[in-house]
Chains A and B, each alone.
Chain A
Amino acid sequence: MNLVDFLLLNGEEFLTLTLQHLFLVGVSTGIALGVGVPLGILLTRRPRFSPPVLGLANIFQTIPSLALFGFLIPIPFIGGVGARTAIVALVLYALLPIIRNTYAGIQGIDPAVREAGRGMGMTDRQLLLMVEIPLAFGVILAGIRVATVIGVGVATIAAAIGAGGLGVFIFRGVAMVNNTLILAGALPAALIALAADFLLGRIERRFAPGRGQLAEVRAV
């Protein structure tokens, strides 16, 4: 059976798994954004905490994804089998690029710009909202983009702990030594990753051109 026939025959399951996949990635990236951006901003205000926090986020990133899912299962409240555990793991993966880019993006802003802002009587909040976040936006968005693409890939492994997603086809295909089945999971996942990368990349570029320092800051 070829891939197209398979997908036509199993349309309903394919749709369910795709939606599960998008749900896992969407929710986890959303949570990671909600935690990571404020945390990254906080680190720019208390730079001495940045090595331990970034170090910790780095460690999560180095744990092989299958192992991380496994580690989380026995942990009470966040653990167990299912989507919740998978989302926790995906959040841990997404945090590093988001925190790091938020921090680096804001740290990379020309200090003179910050001094001018403070010298003109901007409050810390105004400086953040009017100057620092807009200037770091391209870099922060690049972090979100990386986090999303990683998330789409790692989410295929969530099937191993019963969280669903396109990984279900992949694991089934591996077990049955059926390449069509593996492709039915892998190809759509790859397409989702590419689409997310393309869309976020376009948004990123919209905030870059002709805006002076942004180009330099992005290079950080």
Chain B
Amino acid sequence: MHETRAPVVQFRDVALRLANGRAIVKGLSFDVRPGEILVLLGRSGSGKTTTLKLINRLLLPSEGKVTVEGRSTVEWDPTQLRRRIGYVIQEIGLFPHFTVAQNVAVVPTLQGWEEERKRQRVRELLDLVGLDPTSFADRYPTQLSGGQKQRVGVARALAADPPLLLLDEPFGALDPLTRLELQRELKQLATHLAKTLVFVTHDVREGMVLGSRIALFQEGRMVFLGAPAAFLNSQHPEARAFVAALREPQTQPHPSAGEVE
């Protein structure tokens, strides 16, 4: 049923080159289907984050075309486009001078919502991400734990009810238990709210837990795209390296400890 609906995002022969001609990503052609969780998996520097930033126009392609909701990102007004797309990053980037409520209400504020509507939306969202509004709304980010901050980050991304969410290793810096908890809740949330997610990670376990489909990146190219079950059976050497890591207790082909810091 999903297949018959128009893709949310389309990449067509997309490449991004630096001034010196070196390609960070190249030959990208794929669709993001409505309602799916597309996991972009790969080692550090394989081009996953770049691909994500091409969607919300933090980067523009040097070749090819990225289309969001049927319109090329070149034609989109960048701020309008970004307000329609939720964005969650590993460093979270909560505004330290805003309370939790103000942080969550950033995009509604930018869109000029009325105070009462904003307040209601904030309560709703904090409830949704498992934070009690009465005790959290007026706190500042420094008074939160890592997991709580990222919950606020997710709530903030959902604030204006965007159909599409981009998440760049959102749980990378969290402890394993909190991480597992948030993965589960995110998956439920995405299904429940019928959101489309593009989720970047280097953790193959996380990819398997969350993904409707997995896109594997290697040196700027997408070398595999398919369901998790197909990924397990892929003969591509990079896919096999990741699958092998899955079978080993808690190791990854490239433990990117440095990235997590």
Contact = CB atoms under 8 A, between A and B. Distances in A.
Interface of A: 110-123, 126, 130-131, 134-135, 210-214
Interface in B58-96: 58, 78-83, 87, 89, 91-96
Contacts of B96: 110, 113, 135, 211-214
15 contacts: A111-B91, A112-B91, A113-B94, A113-B95, A116-B94, A117-B95, A119-B89, A120-B110, A121-B80, A130-B95, A131-B97, A135-B96, A212-B96, A212-B97, A214-B97
A118 B82 contact: yes
B87 A119 contact: yes
B172 interface: no
Given A112-B92, A119-B87, A212-B142, A134 B97 contact: yes
Contacts of B106: 117, 120, 122
A206 to B, nearest CB: 13
A166 B88 CA distance: 58
Given A119-B58, A122-B110, A126-B110, A113 B83 contact: no
Contacts of B56: 119
Contacts of A111: 91
Contacts, number: 77
B207 interface: no
B141 interface: yes
Contact of B97 (A114, A123, A211): A211
B58 A118 contact: yes
Contact of B92 (A114, A116, A122, A212): A116
A131 B83 CA distance: 17
Contact of B93 (A110, A121, A210): A110
Interface of B: 56, 58, 78-83, 87, 89, 91-97, 106-107, 110, 140-142, 156-157, 166
B246 to A, nearest CB: 30
Query: A-B pairs with the 3 shortest C-beta distances?
Result: A116-B93, A212-B96, A112-B91
A106 to B, nearest CB: 14
B158 to A, nearest CB: 12
Given A114-B93, A115-B91, 5 more contacts: A118-B58, A119-B82, A119-B89, A121-B78, A212-B96
A178 B49 CA distance: 73
Contacts of B93: 110, 112-117
Contacts of A121: 78-83, 107, 110
Contacts of A213: 96-97, 142
Given A121-B82, A126-B110, A210-B140, A115 B89 contact: yes
Nearest to A123: B79
Contacts of B140: 210-212
